């Protein structure tokens, strides 16, 4: 059942990119910062799981989540808070520097070669659904992503902190004038992005069976592309953008003639540039985001 | 009648004089340092090239290394001896027979890089806000993927070897001088001034009729030319070339050099290269493991990059505008002169 | 006199440009005070300085005799000064309800007290009652202005600062807004209104100050000011 398999692959990749884009988009919406180091949150969570190989599952999961969240909060406090009023370009370079730093710290501690790790082996292999055999991991990924998204929607629409974050994302100064604590909102955004990163790390570890200092890199690049495609500044856009990019990637992989398939990424980024000619503001563009004269 | 401020000739003069002095000093007094100094001069070409674009239009570009790659590979194809091309690549007959000298290929390869900018720059320069920087990443990734996989033209994952080692310290110095002069000339030209207006406020600039896309394209093409030139110089300095030679590490290094010195000025770019080259050299020395008396530092790969990143961050947090901000050395010199004439 | 808000000798500069020079005003409980002046006079700067968005170079701002200069905006809001900024700035992607309830962010007196105040506020703004569940972005300009004021009132502020509440609104709507401002007096809130629309401002205010190019030119009871030549020249550039 090749078509269904491909469809599931597409949705699975779309879900992964959507979560990655959400993590990046969340921080951007409250701070106008594109966090390059988001990929390193993934890597750190992955290496925590690796380092605790042999321990019970729940310890490894908690360690992964905790390490990503803690690193995210440290980043915010040490590197980004002092620069909160700086130009977006400066923030961008700073996050690039943080990303570079953490990557090479990992190299110093763990070396640069990928390390094998066994984690949640129960999720590998296929699951039978009627006459179909589908990869268990992909089914779980899609299901878990849906649950996470629902959870985030509930958080943002029904809890006071979530509503405060949406207010801050829309109009940061006005949010302060209503008494919303700037630091708390930003720290929460980073913490949530850390959780999302950890989740992505778990998926990647199960999928590839390895961890490496580079494991977050490609993902975060796709997260940026997805966030831009969806419309930077919109969380719904980030999710949508992730789906679009993921599905496109799998379609390219499937439909490109076999000898050009190695150029898949070049095509993907090329399509990205073409997309930007047609719709530079992204798919979901709020009029409020346009620069007001 | 329009009157512009008097041209700042002091900046290029001072910078060129300093660099020439360093080159002379190195050759005469410390010939062992020729390689690091040559490399630094080449980085000056690349970073100044980047500054022409990012400094004047305010868009941080992660993709300029793509132009370095194009310059390097085109030059490789043009200057490698025919038999080497035949064994390593699978080029059409005409290209295989082609044999330029390095000097001849400088112009052609740089033009090739500029052409790439012309062809692919349009989506990037149309964007606003922080998004164009993301688009430049696409440029880098496309170039990298092609270089990595187009075995016939670039050798794919295999390194191209045997490039003529024609980049001496004087050739590199010449490149750096050229880059600085072009950068300062553009910066002070009417077009450069118009572009900097857009850096401050896109909307205001457009409302007085500045063609933002056009001006950005001009800057992009010029900066691509210079970066391509840097690529040529680098290729003929290293002698070998593969798709991973110029990728993320180079991008980070180049951006660090630009930002540390101050991306709004040419002086800042040069200064950043100088500072980080020295730091880099120092750490390369330490990374091999040294012992100071009873205290010995083990060799740890990756430590150099960690230190570089920490220094970058420290400088950014302390001085977000870079160490030199937007000041060109020429103005400081004139101010100092005026001060002492009182 | 029950002076709630006092500003003394305030100097605010944006880089090389001085926006406010030695400004001094006071507002008492239950008083409506207007600050009028032409565009660029520094009126918005004054309000932003009071609420902590601009740091003054010199001078003091006192709330109930306690100096609040240098505090963060969040803290000042929690202390009891609320700003309804120029242009309303409602959170367009949130519902009317969420907007109003956000006003209560700094309150510490429990849900029941908040809900009681909510009821009172909704009686003051029946139109918001009708649109309670709608997205704030769908409201008209006048309705958004009401919402912004309601949101500020939810914080049970001691001082309410209004920056050009009539800006961009149709005359009938302006009257409605100012009726609300009149009623605020009864709640005991000290109200400081900054306006270019002299007519409405002086009609509803007890006292007023005239601000021009960063300086207070005149002050006094509202009806006296209407007749003063400084007021006319500040607007129409007559010989002073």
Q: What is the DSSP string of B107-119?
A: HHHHHHHHHHHHH
Distance from CA of A65 to the nearest CA of B (A): 24
Kindly tell me the burial class for residue B208, based on how many C-beta atoms sit within 10 Å of its own C-beta (0-12, 13-18, 19 or more): exposed
Q: Which of C53, C105, C137 to mutate to test the interface with A (most CBs of A within 10 A)?
A: C105
Per CB-CB distance under 8 Å, the chain C contacts of A182 are 74
- Distance (Å, rounded) from C-alpha A18 to C-alpha C50? 43
Instruction: Write out chain B residues lying below 8 Å of A100, CB-based.
Output: 252, 305, 308-309, 312
Contact A100 B309 (CB under 8 A): yes
Question: What angle, 0 to 180 degrees and rounded to 10, lies between the N-to-C axes of helices A160-170 and A136-158?
Answer: 80
- Phi/psi for B229 (5° steps) reads -55, -45
Report the pLDDT value the prediction gives residue A229, as an integer from 0 to 100: 93
Residue ranges and CATH numbers for the domains of chain C are: 3-236 (3.40.50.300)
Give me the mean pLDDT over the C14-35 stretch. Answer: 89
CA distance C7 to chain A (A): 19
CA dihedral A183, A188, A189, A193 (to 10 degrees): 140
Q: How confident is the model at residue A291 (pLDDT cuts 50, 70, 90)?
A: very low
pLDDT at residue B295 greater than cutoff 60: no
**Is C227's pLDDT higher than 80?**
no
pLDDT score of C181:
85
Say whether residue A236 is in contact with chain C using an 8 A CB cutoff: no
pLDDT at B300: 67
How confident is the prediction for chain C on average, in pLDDT?
86
pLDDT at B96: 79
User: What pLDDT does A292 receive?
Assistant: 43
The confidence band for C239, taking pLDDT boundaries of 50, 70 and 90, is: very low
Compare CB distances from B120 to A262, A265, A273 and report the shortest one's residue. A273
Cβ–Cβ contacts within 10 Å for residue B276, how many? 24
Instruction: State residue A93's pLDDT score.
Output: 86
Neighbours of C106 (CB within 10 A): 22
Query: Where does the pLDDT of residue C240 fall: very low under 50, low under 70, confident under 90, or very high at 90 and above?
Result: very low
Q: Does C161 touch chain A (CB under 8 A)?
A: no
Contacts of B131 in chain A (CB under 8 A): 228, 232, 276, 280
Give the number of beta-carbon pairs within 8 Å between A and C.
59
Mean pLDDT (chain B, rounded)? 87
Question: Per-residue pLDDT for C141 more than 70?
Answer: yes
- Tens of pLDDT, residue by residue over A38-71, are 999 999 999 999 999 888 989 999 999 999 999 9
- B143 versus B337: which is more confidently predicted? B143
Q: Distance of alpha carbon B121 from its chain centroid, rounded? A: 18
Q: Which residues of A touch C155 (CB under 8 A)?
A: 178-179
**Residue A1's pLDDT band (cuts 50, 70, 90):** low
Closest residue in A to B321 (Cα) is A90
What is the predicted pLDDT for the residue at A242?
A: 95
- pLDDT confidence bin for C167, thresholds 50/70/90: confident
**Pairing outcome for strands A126-129 and A132-135:** antiparallel
Contact B112, B70 (CB under 8 A): yes
Over residues B178-230, the pLDDT tens digits come to 999 999 999 999 899 889 888 877 778 888 888 889 999 999 999 999 999 99
Q: How far apart are CA A47 and CA A197, in angstroms?
A: 13
A84-129: per-residue pLDDT in tens? 888 888 888 899 999 999 999 999 899 889 999 988 888 778 887 7
Q: Which of B252, B263, B300 sits opposite A100 (nearest CB)?
A: B252
pLDDT digits (tens, 9 = 90+) for B9-52: 888 888 999 999 999 988 888 888 889 999 999 999 999 999 99
Q: How confident is the model at residue C197 (pLDDT cuts 50, 70, 90)?
A: confident
Position A269 pLDDT exceeds 90: yes
* Best CA proximity match to B152, nearest among B102, B85, B71, B97: B85
Note the pLDDT of residue B95.
79
The residue assigned the tokens 């491909």 is A6
**Cβ(C69)–Cβ(C53) below 8 Å:** no
Q: What residues in C contact A174, CB-CB < 8 Å?
A: 85, 89, 91
**C residues 59..88 contacting A (CB < 8 A):** 72-74, 77-78, 82-83, 85
Residue owning tokens 């902190």:
A161
In whole angstroms, give the CA distance from residue A16 to residue A246: 8
Q: What is the pLDDT of residue C26?
A: 92
Contact in structure between B88 and B160 (CB atoms under 8 Å): yes
Of the pLDDT bands very low, low, confident and very high (cuts 50, 70, 90), residue A293 is: very low
Supply the pLDDT for residue C236.
59
Nearest to B230 by CA among B37, B59, B40: B40
Burial class of residue B273, CB neighbours in 10 A (0-12, 13-18, 19+): buried
Whole-structure pTM value: 0.87
**pLDDT, tens digit, 9 for 90 and up, residues B92-146:** 888 777 788 888 889 999 999 999 999 999 999 988 888 898 899 999 999 999 9
Domain borders along chain A are 2-117+131-289
Cβ neighbour number for residue B98 with a 10 Å cutoff: 16
Residue B268's region, left for phi above 0, alpha for psi from -120 to 50, else beta, is alpha
- Residue ranges covered by each domain of chain B: 10-247
**Nearby residues of A256 by Cβ (< 8 Å), 6 or more positions away:** A263, A264, A267
Q: What is the pLDDT of residue B51?
A: 95
Q: DSSP string of B58-126?
A: ----S-THHHHHHHHHHHHHHHS-HHHHHHH----HHHHH----HHHHHHHHHHHHHHHHHHH-HHHHH
Average pLDDT of B3-7? 68
Instruction: Please answer yes or no on whether B302 and A93 come within 8 Å at the CB atom.
Output: no
Q: What is the pLDDT of residue C238?
A: 47
Q: Which residues of C touch A158 (CB under 8 A)?
A: none
Long-range contacts, C24-29 (Cβ 8 Å, 24+): C24/C216, C25/C192, C25/C209, C25/C216, C25/C219, C27/C3, C27/C159, C27/C190, C27/C191, C27/C192, C28/C1, C28/C2, C28/C3, C28/C4, C28/C190, C29/C2, C29/C4, C29/C158, C29/C188, C29/C189, C29/C190
User: What distance in Å separates the CA atoms of residue C103 and residue C117, rounded to the nearest whole number?
Assistant: 11
Chains B and C touch (3+ CB pairs under 8 A): no
> Which residues on chain C are in Cβ contact (under 8 Å) with A288?
92-93
Domain boundaries A2-117+131-289, corresponding CATH code = 1.10.3470
pLDDT of A164 strictly over 90: yes
CB contact under 8 A, C74 and A288: no
Residue A197 in this model has a pLDDT that exceeds 60: yes
Q: Which residue has the tokens 């430049």?
A: B136
Tell me how far the alpha carbon of residue B198 is from its chain's centroid. Answer: 23
Interface test with B, best of A93, A241, A248, A289 (most B CBs within 10 A): A93
pLDDT digits (tens, 9 = 90+) for C181-192: 888 888 889 999
- Residue A201 at interface with chain C, using a CB cutoff of 8 Å: no
Q: Is the pLDDT of residue A289 over 80?
A: no
Chain B residues with CB inside 8 Å of A263's CB?
145-146, 149
Q: Is B282 a residue whose pLDDT tops 50?
A: yes
pLDDT at A287 over 60: no
How far, in Å, CA of A52 to CA of A61, rounded? 10
* Structure-derived torsion over alpha carbons of residues C41, C201, C99, C172, reported in degrees to the nearest 10: -120
CA distances from A271 to A73, A168, A239, B60, B149 (A): 35, 33, 19, 22, 18
Determine which of B1-5, B200-204, C15-19 has the lowest per-residue pLDDT on average: B1-5
Task: Say if the Cβ atoms of A97 and B131 lie within 8 Å.
Answer: no
DSSP B326: T
Q: Are A40 and A216 in contact (CB under 8 A)?
A: yes
Query: Out of A158-162, B97-101, B194-198, C120-124, which region has the weakest mean confidence (pLDDT)?
Result: B97-101
CA-wise closest residue to A199 among A151, A127, A166:
A151
Distance in angstroms (rounded) separating the CA atoms of residues B239 and B227: 18
Q: Is A56 helix (H, G, I), strand (E, B) or coil?
A: coil
Residue A288 contacts C, CB cutoff 8 Å:
yes
């Amino acid at each position: 059942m090749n078509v269904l398999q491909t469809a599931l692959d597409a949705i699975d990749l779309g879900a992964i990119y959507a979560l990655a884009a959400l993590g990046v988009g969340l921080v951007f919406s409250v701070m106008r910062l594109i966090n390059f180091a988001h990929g390193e949150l993934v890597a750190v969570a992955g290496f925590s799981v690796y380092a605790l190989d042999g321990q019970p599952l729940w310890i490894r999961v908690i360690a992964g989540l905790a390490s990503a969240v803690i690193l995210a909060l440290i980043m915010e406090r040490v590197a980004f808070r002092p620069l909160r009023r700086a130009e977006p370009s400066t923030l961008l370079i700073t996050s690039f520097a943080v990303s570079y730093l953490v990557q090479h710290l990992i190299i110093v501690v763990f070396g640069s070669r990928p390390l094998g790790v066994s984690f949640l082996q129960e999720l590998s292999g296929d699951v039978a659904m009627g006459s179909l055999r589908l990869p268990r991991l992909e089914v779980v990924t899609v299901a878990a992503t849906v649950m996470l998204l629902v959870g985030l929607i509930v958080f943002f629409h029904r809890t006071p902190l979530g509503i405060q974050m949406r207010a801050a994302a829309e109009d940061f100064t006005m949010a302060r004038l209503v008494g919303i604590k700037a630091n708390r909102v930003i720290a929460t955004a980073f913490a949530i992005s850390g959780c999302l990163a950890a989740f992505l790390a778990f998926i990647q570890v199960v999928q590839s069976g390895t961890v490496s200092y580079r494991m977050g890199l490609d993902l975060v690049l796709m997260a940026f592309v997805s966030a831009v495609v969806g419309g930077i500044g919109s969380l719904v856009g980030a999710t949508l953008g992730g789906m679009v990019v993921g599905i496109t990637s799998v379609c390219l992989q499937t439909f490109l003639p076999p000898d050009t398939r190695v150029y898949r990424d070049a095509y993907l980024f090329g399509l990205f540039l073409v997309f930007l000619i047609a719709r530079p503001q992204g798919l979901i563009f709020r009029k409020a985001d346009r620069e007001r004269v | 009648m329009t009157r512009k401020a008097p041209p700042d000739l002091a900046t290029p003069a001072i910078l060129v004089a300093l660099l020439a002095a360093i080159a002379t000093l190195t050759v005469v007094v410390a010939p062992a340092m020729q390689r690091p100094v040559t490399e630094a001069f080449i980085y000056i070409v690349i970073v100044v090239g980047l500054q022409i674009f990012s400094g004047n239009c305010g868009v941080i570009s992660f993709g300029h290394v793509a132009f370095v790659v194009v310059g390097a590979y085109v030059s490789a194809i043009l200057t490698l001896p025919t038999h080497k091309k035949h064994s390593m690549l699978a080029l059409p007959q005409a290209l295989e027979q082609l044999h330029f000298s390095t000097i001849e290929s400088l112009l052609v390869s740089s033009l090739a890089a500029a052409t790439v900018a012309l062809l692919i720059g349009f989506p990037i320069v149309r964007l606003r806000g922080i998004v164009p920087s993301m688009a430049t990443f696409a440029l880098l990734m496309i170039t990298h993927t092609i270089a990595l996989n187009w075995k016939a033209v670039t050798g794919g994952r295999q390194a191209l070897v045997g490039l003529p080692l024609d980049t001496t310290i004087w050739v590199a110095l010449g490149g750096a001088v050229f880059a600085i002069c072009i950068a300062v000339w553009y910066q002070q030209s009417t077009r450069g001034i118009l572009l900097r207006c857009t850096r401050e406020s896109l909307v205001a600039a457009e409302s007085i009729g500045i063609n933002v896309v056009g001006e950005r394209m001009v800057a992009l093409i010029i900066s691509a030319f210079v970066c391509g030139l840097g690529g040529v110089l680098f290729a003929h300095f290293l002698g070998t070339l593969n798709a991973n030679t110029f990728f993320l590490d180079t991008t980070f290094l180049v951006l660090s050099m630009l930002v540390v010195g101050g991306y709004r000025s040419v002086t800042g770019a040069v200064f950043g290269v100088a500072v980080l080259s020295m730091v880099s050299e120092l750490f390369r020395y330490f990374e091999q493991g040294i012992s100071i008396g009873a205290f010995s530092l083990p060799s740890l790969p990756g430590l150099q990059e960690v230190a570089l990143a920490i220094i970058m961050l420290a400088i950014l947090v302390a001085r977000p505008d870079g160490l030199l901000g937007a000041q060109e050395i020429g103005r400081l010199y004139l101010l100092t002169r005026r001060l002492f004439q009182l | 006199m029950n002076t709630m808000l006092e500003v003394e000798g305030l100097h605010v500069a944006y880089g090389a440009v001085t926006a406010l020079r030695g400004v001094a005003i006071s507002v008492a409980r239950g008083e409506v005070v207007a600050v009028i002046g032409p565009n660029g006079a520094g009126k918005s700067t004054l309000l932003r300085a009071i609420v902590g968005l601009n740091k003054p170079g010199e001078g003091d701002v006192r709330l109930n005799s306690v100096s609040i200069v240098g505090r963060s905006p969040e803290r000042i809001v929690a202390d009891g000064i609320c700003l309804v900024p120029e242009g309303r700035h409602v959170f367009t992607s949130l519902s009317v309800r969420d907007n109003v309830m956000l006003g209560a962010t700094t309150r510490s007196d429990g849900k029941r007290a908040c809900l009681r105040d909510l009821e009172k506020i909704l009686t003051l703004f029946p139109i918001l009652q009708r649109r309670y569940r709608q997205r704030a972005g769908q409201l008209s300009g006048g309705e958004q202005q009401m919402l912004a004021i309601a949101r500020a009132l939810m914080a049970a502020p001691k001082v309410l600062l209004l920056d050009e509440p009539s800006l961009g609104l149709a005359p009938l709507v302006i009257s409605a807004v100012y009726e609300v401002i009149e009623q605020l007096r009864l709640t005991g809130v000290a109200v400081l209104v900054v306006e270019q629309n002299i007519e409405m401002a002086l009609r509803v205010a007890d006292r007023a100050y005239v601000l021009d190019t960063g300086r207070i030119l005149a002050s006094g009871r509202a009806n006296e000011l209407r007749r003063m030549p400084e007021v006319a020249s500040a607007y129409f550039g007559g010989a002073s």
